[in-house]
Amino acid sequence: MMIMKSGSRKFVLTLHTTVTGTWIGSVVTYLTLVVVSLAGWADIGLAPTWATLALLGWYVVVPAALSSFASGVAMAWSTTWGLLHHKWVVASLGLTTLAVVVLLGHMPSVTESATLANTASGAEADLHQALWSELLHSGLGLVVLLAIQAINVYKPAGLTTYGRRIREAKPTRLSAPAMLPSPATAPQGSSRWAKIVWIHALILVGLFVIGHIALGGVPSH
């Protein structure tokens, strides 16, 4: 673990919050387009809708997701929180990894639908039905992203087994920075909040995986 200087840490934190906000905002935009198309509020046709979804997904959502993941890992690795020392960091990293993997696995099917909409005739019913899959994917994805944000803001106390071993060996090296709340001085109710966050995180992971499997899993191309 290499501790960043204050200026570098602030730069990476600014980058992380920016790309994470872009990720959430682009998913909201994606979800809005799907809802509008399903409700028939905008008569723009299925071909433009799918073309926009593919463009937005590959050129905004995916880059923002990968940037958020990379900058988040850099932030955890290069600060005294550590990458695997605290349960909230592991939970945030696990949910982010899940979201990125499902996103990358799902985007080829969006490209396939966009291509089908432009080249095939008589596939309107299938393309319209496929929008329900996008509604579920983007909706659950947004819920997971909001859960990650909540975990990152509240930082429920609790060390991992690895973190406890390191702290017992070198107690001063894992003390949190002055700008961050120290787990050692966390309120007594923090353990209760930690349990609540972990339970909700597990529920979200279960819903995300079940929803994805119900839609046929990751397509193969």
Return the SS3 of 159.
strand
Using DSSP's 3-state secondary structure scheme, residue 86 falls into strand
Q: Which pTM was predicted?
A: 0.76
- Residue of 131, 169, 149, 121 lying closest to 49 (CA atoms): 131
**Residue 206: how many CB atoms within 10 A of its CB?**
10
Amino acid (one-letter) located at 105: G
pLDDT at 212: 52
Which CA distances in Å does 190 have to 9, 16, 157, 196, 203? 26, 26, 6, 10, 20
DSSP-assigned beta bridge partners for residue 86: 159
Round to whole Å and give the CA distance between 55 and 49: 10
Cα–Cα dist 116/167, whole Å: 56
What contacts 76, CB < 8 A, 6 or more positions away? 82, 83, 89, 93
Q: What is the predicted pLDDT for the residue at 203? A: 62
Q: Which residue has the tokens 């990476």?
A: 12
Quote the pLDDT of residue 57: 97
Q: What is the dihedral of CA 85, 87, 93, 96, to 10 degrees?
A: -170
CA 104 to chain centre: 12
Least Cα distance to 73 among 92, 60, 59, 99 occurs for 92
Show pLDDT as tens, one digit a residue, over the chain (221 residues): 556 777 888 899 999 999 999 999 999 999 999 999 998 876 678 899 999 999 999 999 999 999 999 999 998 888 888 888 999 999 999 999 999 999 999 999 999 999 999 887 778 889 999 999 999 999 999 999 999 999 999 998 889 888 888 888 875 544 444 334 444 444 445 455 555 555 555 566 566 555 555 554 433 33
CA–CA separation, 153 and 66 (whole Å) = 20
Query: Treating both helix axes as pointing N-terminal to C-terminal, what angle do 124-154 and 87-119 enclose, rounded to 10 degrees?
Result: 160
Distance of CA 113 to the CA centre of its chain: 24
CA distances from 135 to 60, 123, 130 (A): 18, 19, 9
Closest CA to 127 of 115, 141, 140: 115
pLDDT of amino acid 217: 44
**pLDDT on residue 197:** 53
What pLDDT is stored for residue 208 in this prediction? 57
